[in-house]
């Protein structure tokens, strides 16, 4: 069992080190607000969205200084033919929730992070929540 865990961790580490070179860019987006992508605080700006491998998504700043990879789940495409990023908003915090591309019939849903769960609970006690959309280019 320990050997299988070591092999899985080695495979994941190898994948993450190669992901930047193998990623297929699917869109860019200018996000006008700071947000959280999984557990990472991301500043507003222009981002490249890539798919390094099926069921993985990679978000990078245009200058390449910030680079985050996340496992995603398939999600039925909602809405029209345009691509979009779906954010959940709790108070003044935004959390990336979904990626819908214009070129694919399926969208990608990100797992809810612990930070988002805590913000959701905190905001539900106060006011409720909102959803924000950002168009992809």
- From the CB of residue 99, how many other CB atoms can be counted at a distance below 10 Å? 24
Label residue 8 by pLDDT band (50, 70, 90).
very low
| Domain assignment present for 72 | yes
Which helix (H) or strand (E) covers residue 20, if one does? helix 2-22
Whether 1 is covered by a domain: the verdict is: no
In a domain, residue 16? The reply is no
Task: Output the CA–CA distances (angstroms, integers) from residue 136 to 1, 31, 58, in the order listed.
Answer: 43, 9, 15
* pTM of the predicted model over 0.85: no
- Domain-located, residue 60: yes
Indicate the average pLDDT of the chain: 76
Query: Across the beta sheet with 45-51, what order do the strands follow?
Result: 24-31, 45-51, 56-61, 67-71
- In angstroms, the CA 23 to CA 17 distance is 11
Residue 5 lies in a domain: no
> Residue 51: inside a domain, yes or no?
yes
Domain-located, residue 104: yes
Express each pLDDT in 29-46 by its tens digit.
999 999 998 888 999 999
Which of 97, 87, 93 has the alpha carbon at shortest distance from 118?
93
* Residue pLDDT, tens place only, 62-108: 888 888 888 888 776 655 667 889 999 988 899 999 888 776 666 88
Contacts of residue 129, defined as CB under 8 A and 6 or more positions apart, other chains included, come to 88, 89, 90, 120, 123
Q: Domain tally for the chain?
A: 1
Structural domain containing residue 109: 23-135
């Amino acid at each position: 069992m320990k050997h299988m865990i070591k092999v899985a961790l080695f495979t994941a580490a190898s994948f993450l080190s190669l992901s930047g070179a193998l990623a297929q860019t699917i869109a860019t987006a200018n996000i006008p607000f700071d947000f959280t992508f999984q557990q990472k605080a991301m500043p507003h700006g222009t981002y490249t969205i890539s798919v390094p491998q099926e069921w993985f998504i990679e978000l990078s700043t245009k200058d390449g200084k910030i680079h985050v990879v996340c496992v995603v789940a398939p999600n039925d495409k909602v809405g029209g033919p345009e691509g979009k990023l779906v954010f959940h908003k709790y108070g003044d915090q935004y959390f990336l929730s979904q990626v819908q591309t214009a070129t694919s019939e399926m969208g990608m849903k990100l797992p809810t992070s612990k930070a988002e769960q805590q913000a959701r609970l905190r905001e539900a006690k106060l006011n409720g929540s909102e959803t924000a959309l950002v168009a992809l280019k």
